[in-house]
Amino acid sequence: MSIPFRFACLFVWVLLASGLQAQNNFFRFKSDFSIKEKEAGKDQGRLITGAIYYDKNLHKTVYNIRFPEPEQWLVRDTFMYRMKADTLVSQQMVPPVGEFSIFNMILSQQLNDFGLAKVGYTPGDVQQDGNQVISQWLPPEQLKSYLGPVSMAQENKRIKAAAFYDKDKKLVSKFYFEDYTVHSGLPVPGKIYQIFYREAGEFVRIMTLKNIVINQADEDSTYDFVVPTDK
């Protein structure tokens, strides 16, 4: 099996340097999810369903997979542990997405600008297009050797779309955010479209989030899992 969720494709989240600082008391995110993936050149896509548990203070993420078969993906730091029936079946290194995961940005209320301001991006041209505000973000000098500008669309101060470019201004990826709902005062997109442009062709992922819970008070052992190699 390829790295679940194809973490290696998350170009932007890997390269954006380190550390959003906590600005609120939102620290846990739980949701049922489904992911549909389609890769250029392949006749069939892939469907994954399950539940996500993320705790920003613990820097741990749990994916309880229901389909295509029951298993767990446990993510901490730069390692992912794949479990079946409480048995470790694989261990892989993954990019240090960490605090730039979509779930952390939701809890940190940084999703509206993808956390770009926190890592030194500066706003460029801004245009009004109907109800949407289209803005350009320019990378800081120390990142210009490998990162390009970002084009972002917001509506009612919520991100609707973002396009990321490399240093040569070649399109790398696009994100679309739809079906927002508010939970404990936090706006959360119910559907996220991701398109990655690669030499082999487009890779498309659609993530749907349902039954969202913020700051869940129980299931502590699920959020604070013990890494299998620590047992």
Q: Which residues pair with 39 in a beta bridge?
A: 203
- Whole-number pLDDT of residue 230: 53
CATH of domain 4-223: 2.50.20.10
More confident residue, 189 or 4: 189
pLDDT tens by residue, 36-80: 999 988 888 999 999 999 999 999 999 999 999 999 999 998 899
Give the count of alpha carbons within 13 A of 110, CB side only: 23
pLDDT band at 4 (very low <50, low <70, confident <90, very high): very low
- Whole-number pLDDT of residue 16: 37
Q: How far apart are the first and last CA of the chain?
A: 25
Which amino acid would we find at residue 188? V
- Whole-number pLDDT of residue 97: 64
- Whole-number pLDDT of residue 9: 40
Q: 187: cis peptide before it, omega within 30°?
A: no
pTM of the full structure:
0.83
What does residue 14 show for φ and ψ, rounded to 5 degrees?
-75, -40
pLDDT tens by residue, 98-110: 556 889 999 998 8
- Number of continuous H segments (helices) and E segments (strands) in the chain: 3, 13
Distances (CA, A) of 192 to 19, 85, 167: 23, 30, 25
